[in-house]
Amino acid sequence: MNSVPIEEHASSLRYLDRPGEGPPIVFLHGLGSASSFAFPAIAADPHLRSRRAILVDFLGFGYSDRPTTFAYSMDRHAETVVRLLDQLGLVAADLFGHSMGGAVAVLIAHARPARVARLVSAEGNLDPEPGIVSGIITQWSEAEYAASGHAEFLRGLRAQGFADYARTVEAAEPIAVHRSAVDLIADRDPTFRELLLRLPIPRTYLFSEESAGDPNTERLPRVGVSIGIVPAAGHDMMSDNPCGLAEAIANALPT
């Protein structure tokens, strides 16, 4: 793993850097997940394996450090990834974010417009409303979640057959999971949707086949955002159809 120091929290943001040609794709994971777990198979798929891929684990998740002093807000997550882009000197990188990572990607593109060429959001948060995962986590207070809610959430995931996702959630810092969930669905002005629409770069929003009836499949193209559908998949499209997701990303980010 490679790392970026976050000195004010005595911590490191860690990432995988897979060599390749063309503009690098920076992968950003969803709530409770980790890019080091979710995306290696996607980056290695024949549709994408020629591209350089940078797989980032947000602070508090995956292999990154877990400082309890960190806010774990979307803006703070974005700031740490911006440091990575600056440290690597990336110019015209492509961003791919799944779920929460899609929201963070929008913030990064606004913070460093010269470093981001294109953006792909896979069912990223657009509006301040509870999602499937965040809605469950935020039923607890931060103290309750850290004390017992995290373990209860893990038991629920395993009981529903989401063993792989449960492993990444188990590896995450409970406070990071809860603070991230709370901020992800909080009211903000402008919203992630509004910021996405303001970006002057090519943007693609990916839906899983299960979500293909979402009204946004018609709304987003009317305001300049391309859409794609990942077949035979639900929200956990990385596990449901990794090849289909890799193909959708490659179609959105042609070399």
Mean of pLDDT values over 24-35: 98
Cα–Cα distance for residue pair 201/163, rounded to 1 Å? 37
CA atoms within 13 A on the CB side of 18: 21
Counting other chains too, the contacts that 131-136 makes at CB distance below 8 Å and 24 or more residues apart are 131/31, 131/99, 131/184, 131/185, 132/235, 133/30, 133/31, 133/32, 133/99, 133/181, 134/31, 134/181, 134/184, 134/185, 135/185
Cα–Cα distance for residue pair 195/100, rounded to 1 Å? 15
- pLDDT given for residue 255 in this prediction: 86
Cα–Cα distance for residue pair 216/220, rounded to 1 Å? 5
Beta-ladder partners of 27: 55, 96
At 35, list the tokens.
């890019």
Asked if residues 27 and 42 have their Cβ atoms less than 8 Å apart, the reply is yes
Buried b (16+ CB within 10 A) or exposed e, 198-218: ebeeebbbbbbbbbeeeebee
Cα–Cα distance for residue pair 65/10, rounded to 1 Å? 9
What is the pLDDT of the chain when averaged over all its residues? 96
Span 116-143, pLDDT tens digits: 999 999 999 999 999 889 999 999 999 9
Q: Does 2-128+187-252 carry CATH code 3.40.50.1820?
A: yes
Beta-ladder partners of 54: 17, 26
Other C-beta atoms closer than 10 Å to the C-beta of 10 total: 10
Question: Can you give the residue ranges of every domain in the chain?
Answer: 2-128+187-252
Span 41-68, pLDDT tens digits: 999 999 999 999 999 999 999 999 999 9
Span 63-93, pLDDT tens digits: 999 999 999 999 999 999 999 999 999 989 9
Whole-number percent of the chain with pLDDT over 70: 100
Cα–Cα distance for residue pair 201/216, rounded to 1 Å? 19
- pLDDT given for residue 231 in this prediction: 97
Whole-number percent of the chain with pLDDT over 90: 95
Other C-beta atoms closer than 10 Å to the C-beta of 234 total: 15
- pLDDT given for residue 143 in this prediction: 98
Span 182-223, pLDDT tens digits: 999 999 999 999 999 999 999 999 999 999 889 999 999 999
* pTM as predicted: 0.97
